[in-house]
Copies of this chain bind each other. A is one copy, B any other.
Amino acid sequence: MYNEKVNISSESVRNAAKEAIARRGVLISDIAEIVFEMQYPYSNGLTLAHCIQSVERVLNKREVQHAILVGVELDELAEKGMLSQPLQQLIESDESLFGIDETLAIGSVLTYGSIAMTTYGHLDKQKIGIIKKLDTRDGTGVHTFLDDLIASIAASASSRLAHRIRDVEETGESIAGRDKV
């Protein structure tokens, strides 16, 4: 009955991951703004549109989608009080020594390399933009996993941009005026 090998379509997984983020109140442009703030000191001609495009590319990755699906599910189950104890309490109270939210985020950001990882750590502590908002919505929901996921997506999109911009610059060109990076 279990373990039947059914292929779940990539499209349904991708849509569900994007829908999960939206349902939790995070816009792609919220994440792109963090990317822009991280990356514009190093990149002449960088626009918010470049950052949005990079976030969307990150969200197209299976590892990232799976991390989102699991993390948001756990946040939502905790909100409904549907987890068993003591896991319910650990997640609901965002226990300071509980690190599975970081583990999930790290697993996903590491697919963008070790520098993306370092950037994630920075964002997770600095809590800029939407990450700060999630952190201060105390009492109105559980975002134990969501804040780390958003930080990891922003760090991945930043790192992806840094690599792309280098590739463009090596050809002697600039990203200014380009639609896509």
Contacts and interface: CB of A to CB of B under 8 A. Distances in A.
Interface of A: 1-13, 16, 42, 62-63, 66-67, 69-70, 73-74, 77-79, 82-87, 89-90, 92-100, 102-104, 106-108, 110-115, 117-122, 124-126, 138-142, 162-163, 166-167, 169-170
A167 B85 contact: no
A104 B99 contact: no
Contact of A70 (B74, B119, B138): B74
B7 A170 contact: yes
Q: Which 7 A-B pairs have the closest CB atoms?
A: A121-B121, A103-B107, A102-B114, A122-B125, A99-B114, A110-B110, A103-B114
A106 to B, nearest CB: 6
Contacts of A77: 77
Contacts of A3: 92-94, 138-139, 142
B124 A122 contact: yes
Given A2-B138, A70-B74, A93-B6, A99 B86 contact: no
A96 B117 CA distance: 14
